[in-house]
Amino acid sequence: MTREIQAPAVDRRALLRLGAGAAAAAALTGCGPGPTRSASPSATPGGTSATPGGTVSASPTRPAGPADWTALAKDLQGTLVRPGDAQYSAAARVYQPQYDGTRPAGVVYPANSQDAATALGFARRYQLPLALRSGGHSYGGWSAGPGLVLDVGKLNGVTASGGGATIGAGARLIDVYTDLGAQGVTIPAGTCPSVGVTGLTLGGGVGVTCRTYGLTCDNLTGAEVVTADGRILRAAADSEPELFWALRGGGGGNFGVVTSLDFRTRPAAECSYAFLSWPWSSAAQVIAAWQAWAPTAPDQLWADLHLLAWPGGKLELSSTVVYLGPAGELGNLIDRLAVAPNAAPIHTKPYLDTMQEMGGVAGWSQAAAHLPGTLPGQNPAGRLTRESYAARSDFFTRPIPQAGATALVAAVERYAHTAPQGGSAGVAFDALGGAVNRVAPGDTAFVHRGALFLAQYTANFAPDGTGVAQSRDWLNGLWTGLRPYASGEAYQNYADPQLTGWEQAYYGANAARLRRVKQSYDPGGLFRFPQSVPL
């Protein structure tokens, strides 16, 4: 069904690159040739392994040698990729090409939780730096490193029954949506097809149905976790409850290797959506109108707002609106915007088709909506591409006043007239409120429960690194200019390597409790990266 007016020319892929498509991610990555899709089995029916993966040694007598790596490969049911192997260069890469210089000593693709425990034992024994990877979208590049990378991409099964779903830790969102959709259900999640479900969930999980159903982490009912000492645990409300609390917003890579996740499912309902646009000259007024409208709209409505810039003075002001209801109701809600958008059609489509549209892969096959390749998480028919960018974020608990909106618009205009060749930049607001804010800040580790909206500032640059410094300078100037209006909180899934005071910004009043969980489950700090929860 279409409420026909007149469609604006909107490049949805460009919007995704600059805004919502980069969301969700502080993820972890991974599929071998002809991927087999299976969730990780527990080592024992009770969820706790009786055979921890290896003996902890306080200090190795020597570094791992070729024979040790060979022995590790033989101990695994999964795959080990080492320097010199044909697939090493691809296995070493993450989503952002700017981190392609990272050269791991080895990449393990576990076939089950016991493989993960074996790999952790190897990392402990030889004191190898460890990086965990589900989708490889960590903004800081922390899903790879110089030591051992543990990539859960082989653990990608998706099953649903009885109002719940079990999803392997390496499943990509396109597979989650497609496989659950075939059974008429879904979970609230993000829009980027290649993002891994685990990183998204552990850091919160903002998406187009979060105002209706809550964050991805709010719908988590349990998880299988391999801890630093090799134990295989089930974390849920009635089992390891402190760990379960921390997994719902405490960030990826902090407490253990998650090998599978259990979710409460929701109906894959028909959706209405529209792509709105305005003349750039009304940008400051639209910011004010959107802030007064989207965060307080009925829960079934979600909207973003994009201010985008390209070299040569090209600017764009747009909003994507998704509604879990009929087109007529969405049209009435859009009519309440204080600044009317240009004429645009309202579409009504099945849930899966809507998510594909939001992900920029409408009309693509499931196989095509992956990165190309034969490793776990990739597909030989994949058409997605990697991108180089830097990003920062803010949660806003009060509207940006006129002075702030004017400064924001001026900053985006400045980029359009000074942008480096091959660059692009923008600001994306995601409406919150609704179900997100009905959860108390301390009920889960995700503390950001009072915000009106989440803002992400993004600067893309050429894969060869041209314009990196100029892009970062612009990004930092924009972020600094909005300090008087922002809450001081930042989204842990948009990891910001430049952020000082990041622990408070990501976790606020939950930071001390997260430290206690870290001390309980990773007292030796095996899971460590520049912004891991401190001991």
- Residue 105: give its domain's CATH number: 3.30.43.10
Question: Which of these, 75, 124, 142, 131, lies nearest to 105 by C-alpha position?
Answer: 131
User: Domain containing 245 — which CATH number?
Assistant: 3.30.465.10
* Strand order across the beta sheet in which 79-81 lies: 79-81, 106-109, 148-151, 130-133
510 in a structural domain = no
Together in a domain, 302 and 322: yes
Residue 346, token pair as written in the block = 């309202």
250 in a structural domain = yes
Together in a domain, 247 and 363: no
* SS3 state at 135: coil
Together in a domain, 263 and 311: no
Together in a domain, 284 and 299: yes
Burial 272-296 (b: 16+ CB within 10 A, else e): bbbbbbbebeebbebbbbbbebbbe
Question: Which of these, 114, 110, 109, 111, lies nearest to 50 by C-alpha position?
Answer: 114
Report the C-alpha gap between 215 and 207 in whole angstroms: 7
Pairing of strands 371-372, 378-379: parallel
Single out the residue in 233, 268, 303 at which a domain terminates: 268
54 in a structural domain = no
Q: What is residue 465's predicted lDDT score, i.e. its pLDDT?
A: 82
Together in a domain, 352 and 416: yes
Number of residues that make up the chain: 535
User: Domain containing 451 — which CATH number?
Assistant: 3.40.462.20
Torsion angle defined by CA atoms of residues 408, 414, 416 and 417, in that order, rounded to the nearest 10 degrees: 170
* SS3 state at 177: helix
261 within 8 A of 223, measured Cβ to Cβ: yes
518 in a structural domain = no
- Using a cut of 0.75, tell me whether the model's pTM lies above it: yes
Q: What string of pLDDT tens digits covers the 535 residues of the chain?
A: 333 333 333 333 344 344 333 333 232 222 232 333 333 333 333 333 333 343 334 455 689 999 999 999 999 999 999 999 999 999 999 999 999 999 999 999 999 999 999 999 999 999 999 999 999 999 999 999 999 999 999 999 999 999 999 999 999 999 999 999 999 999 999 999 999 999 999 999 999 999 999 999 999 999 999 999 999 999 999 999 999 999 999 999 999 999 999 999 999 999 999 999 999 999 999 999 999 999 999 999 999 999 999 999 999 999 999 999 999 999 999 999 999 999 999 999 999 999 999 999 999 999 999 999 999 999 999 999 999 999 999 999 999 999 999 999 999 999 999 999 889 999 999 999 999 999 999 999 999 999 999 999 999 999 888 899 999 999 999 999 999 999 999 999 999 999 999 999 999 999 999 999 999 999 999 999 999 999 9
Report the C-alpha gap between 272 and 363 in whole angstroms: 17
Q: Would you tell me how many other CB atoms lie within 10 Å of the CB of residue 332?
A: 10
Number of domains in the chain: 3
Q: What is the DSSP letter of 41?
A: P
Together in a domain, 415 and 327: yes
Together in a domain, 193 and 262: yes
3-state helix, strand, coil in the chain (%, to 5): 30, 20, 50
514 in a structural domain = no
Q: What is the DSSP letter of 295?
A: G
Q: What is the DSSP letter of 475?
A: H
Single out the residue in 250, 268, 286 at which a domain terminates: 268
Q: How many helices (H) and strands (E) does the chain have?
A: 15, 21
Residue 164, token pair as written in the block = 């719940």
Together in a domain, 341 and 414: yes
Question: Which of these, 425, 424, 426, 450, lies nearest to 436 by C-alpha position?
Answer: 450
Together in a domain, 145 and 227: no
Q: What is the DSSP letter of 339?
A: S
Pairing of strands 301-310, 371-372: unpaired
61 in a structural domain = no
Structural domain of residue 400, as residue ranges?
Answer: 2-17+270-370+380-503
59 in a structural domain = no
Q: What is residue 466's predicted lDDT score, i.e. its pLDDT?
A: 86
Single out the residue in 151, 174, 199 at which a domain terminates: 151
Together in a domain, 251 and 394: no
Q: What is residue 53's predicted lDDT score, i.e. its pLDDT?
A: 41
Together in a domain, 493 and 365: yes
194 within 8 A of 134, measured Cβ to Cβ: no
What is the separation of C-alpha 221 from the centre of its chain, rounded to a whole number of angstroms? Answer: 19
442 in a structural domain = yes
Together in a domain, 287 and 421: yes
Q: What is residue 59's predicted lDDT score, i.e. its pLDDT?
A: 59
* Strand order across the beta sheet in which 257-264 lies: 158-161, 164-168, 257-264, 220-226, 232-236
